[in-house]
Structure 1
Amino acid sequence: MTNEIEIGRGKRGRRAYSFDDVAIVPSRRTRDPEKVSLAWQIDAFRFEIPVLAAPMDSVMSPATAIALGKAGGLGVLDLEGLWTRYEDPTAQLAEIASLPREAATARMQEIYREPVKPELISARLGEIRAAGVTVAGALSPHRTQELYQTVLKAGVDIFVIRGTTVSAEHVSAVGEPLNLKKFIYDLDVPVIVGGASTYQAALHLMRTGAAGVLVGFGGGAALTTRTSLGIHAPMATAVADVAAARRDYLDESGGRYVHVIADGGLGRSGDMVKSIACGADAFMLGAALARAEEAPGGGYHWGPEAHHIELPRGERVHVGTVAPLDEILFGPGTHTDGTTNIMGALRRSMATTGYSELKEFQRVDVVVSPYQGG
């Protein structure tokens, strides 16, 4: 079933849905929220909550990566960010938060011109490892070949290759592109790659040997990809499509399970709940964690797309500060808008619909219910 509609006589398009367009349907059975497990595992690493922090300077510092790790999640540090460019980026972070909106992009481009220093990559990852939590770092596809040896020598547990979109077969006329299949095969650590937003793209990434695939393109709070490039992937459909690729690859590979991680368009707890319902194993959060009192962005949020030297496809946005990290994750909630007690919301939704495990909750019934703003 293609679900295509006619845009005009010369073009047809497939109807796709965002998280706002779908709703979860309660079942005949309910459970006690206390009996619900939110744990999941990727490769040899088990986590008590299905939360990965986005590798963005406004969200993750070594300190917040450690805090999230101790809370049961996975903090992913941007290894091309301020923490690997400056010995102490406190002043740069404070300046970015204080910039007037009209000057923010240009000044950020200047700040991020400082080169990435391999010795700082080693130092930051070493700091996280010394705290006894799982160590994860992210590189963009075009810097992976250059810096991955430094990352591995520093002792990373999980390696993340994250871009606006990542393909298994990048065509380049100016240099040798990263061969993901060979690269992942040669590594001794699990690799999470993305973003991907279609069944076919995700299936190709799974065939490279990736342990997990990030799902999303242009949907984050700080991204302007939709307005600058005209490209966007509504997340409910994207996650469901990639979950289908996971199912088919499981059969194709003879039982190899690749984790699906929703990444983008997850500003409120209801969106995160729906991402699991559509087939995700976990979700990667940016703005939701940038609202924490401990977040290095100081109430502002931005990603690497916001300071791209040639074509910025993001911006620094004000998300505010709502609560400490622990309250955002576990409550007790003091806000009614889905910004605090995220795990409590997921746990209660699972209990209300009768599911006690995340994998089971992927089978929950959903309906298309276009959002009317009410």
Structure 2
Amino acid sequence: MDFPASPPTAPGAPELTGLLARLRTEAHDDTTGRPSDSALDALRASGVLRLPVPVEYAGFGAGWHDANRVITTLARTDASVGIIVFLHYAAVSRIIAYGSQEQRKQVLTAVSDHGLILASSWSEPGSDAAKQNIATTAQRQADGGWVLNGAKTFTTGAGVADLYLVLARTGAQDSGSGSYGRTDQGIFLVDSTRPGFTTDGVLDLSGMRRSATGLIRLEGYAAEDGDVLIRSGDTPAVIGHPHTVGLTLGAVALGVAEEAHDIAVEVGRRRSLLDSPLYRHHVFELGSRLAAVRGVVEAATAPPGDRSGPALTAKVFASETAEAICRGAQELAGSAAFSRGHALNRLAQDARAVTLMGPPNYLCRELVTARLGAR
């Protein structure tokens, strides 16, 4: 693989100052549907990407609580980059837990040394949110390798990521399914520099418009046997693994909500509205909701053992409450806040996007409540 040229420079922890400064200059610009190359260079150089990578692979070895906090910090400035980093961390968590020794050494070391960006590619046109029915296939070859064919949509980081975790059918769709994915599916490490891999543009989304969410195509992509992350009945567990460690999209929603709240306060200060008890009380209501979101996101990594329930609950509560906070901030800011280019309008659309991103909130509710009957 041809790795990016800019290595991380942080000595012992990610250096966010330069990255955030770069993102502030362009977060309002969604014309290309993706972060600029300079922003991606700053992301790679910051050390953010190797935050949860174990120290044995030259990472910082941080816990998932710290990972959620970094995601929130990024999302306050640029929610789209927050989403890209969230999905990168999710892929890192899967490789740590399920990758072979060689995969962990090669991929995780490349994240640390070269700023490799990872992404996951599950969704397809017409497939359900639980990824039960997909058309992308992986055909076993006589030499032990695989040939992948298919198209994926709603891949966040398309054309930005260097390595993709791709879900594909490894057999006839007649075996059992898990709560998220099927047991006759495999997950493959797909190198964006190899023949057979192409990206097909980005989608014109309402929210997360800089997240490079688009289509990838696999046409005769040759994967080696060592590129298989998993091809057994564990596939549903691998898909859902990031939730078990407490990694949550609620961290992105929290960053959006924090920024919307601060804008409402600044609008009041700038217009001398904070002298009004009514305005102050409205701001208080936004702040109390924000405190609840922060508490739920912080709690996602607190329980011992499987943290799926708290992580999915945080995703639902944080994203839906962030939407409400953004609406409240827009109402306080007045009609200008509903214009296409206003920061609050962008934040409101980003909060809405989090509710729809996988697993969407209705599926999160099902995944959490289904456990109740199993007890």
Asked which structure has the greater RCO (Cα within 8 Å, sep 6+), the reply is 1
Q: Tell whether the structures are fold-level matches, with TM greater than 0.5.
A: no
Q: Which structure shows the bigger proportion of residues in helix conformation?
A: 2
